[in-house]
Amino acid sequence: MRVWTSFAAACALAIGAGGVAIAKDEAAPAVKSITQMSPAELEKVRTAGAQILFWSDAQRAANFRAMEAQFPGTTAQHGTPRALPKGEPLAITDAEVEAFMAAQNVAGLMVIQDGKVRLEKYGLGMKPEDRWTSFSVAKSFTSTLVGAAVKDGFIASIDDPVTKYVPELKGSGYDGVTVKQILTMTSGVKWNEDYTDPNSDVVKMLSVPVGPGEDPNTAYLKTLPREAEPGTKWVYKTGETNLIGVIVQRATGKTLTEYAQEKIVKPAGFEG
């Protein structure tokens, strides 16, 4: 299955550094990060960012297959795909698996053990070559890219202040917060991640109007107050996953797509 992956974010509405798709054999579209979007495109992103958590099941089933229509992004090209051979089938009937997937509204299910595929099924009309948004899988990618940036010398230390890489956060609640504290979501900055609250930060994080070249997620984070000393309180924050993407881009001078293609996509043998 080809997976639409928002490397900059915890979920599809988190595109502070631009969404990323992994192309299979088609040519890559023109590069477009959020800081390169037109005012009309930014408005579309703000609207989708505010609405995505409240989509109906039918809207999710339609939009999760092609999130680039809602959130324009950039495309990484795969290298040599890593083979995933078939393994011994699980001791479970197709009927049982299909009943579970239907009850849970599952689009795709795969079980891999020791590098072999023991189960692979699709629902909601999906096929193996289709794409589906990966949501919080993005956290694993962005955090891995921080490690790569440290190894490559782009980030001197995860104990560096965030403002070293994102200076526009100076004077905000992020003054004195380290990259490590962003990675561990212990910045001490106040945040509401309630997906059912239309006034929560996770809904409003792309809502700040910005000028050309500005990142709306960073602009929103800059407005938030501090509620605890950095490093003392853990709060799940999608906005800070986006911020990690911005840090990596600023430190490396590359888009997340470019750096992920180099450090993850090709070495790992992604097919799509």
Q: Which of the residues are catalytic?
A: 136
Q: HSE-up of 131 (CA within 13 Å, CB side)?
A: 22
- How far is it, in rounded angstroms, from Cα 68 to Cα 26? 15
**DSSP letters spanning 25-39:** SSPPPPP--GGG--H
239 with 217: CB under 8 angstroms? Answer: yes
**In angstroms, rounded to a whole number, what is the distance separating the alpha carbons of residues 204 and 47?**
10
**149 and 155 in contact (C-beta within 8 Å)?**
yes
Distances (CA, A) of 59 to 10, 22, 48: 20, 23, 12
**Residue 241 to residue 221: CA distance in whole angstroms:** 11
Q: Cα-Cα-Cα-Cα dihedral of 42, 33, 132, 130, to 10°? A: 120
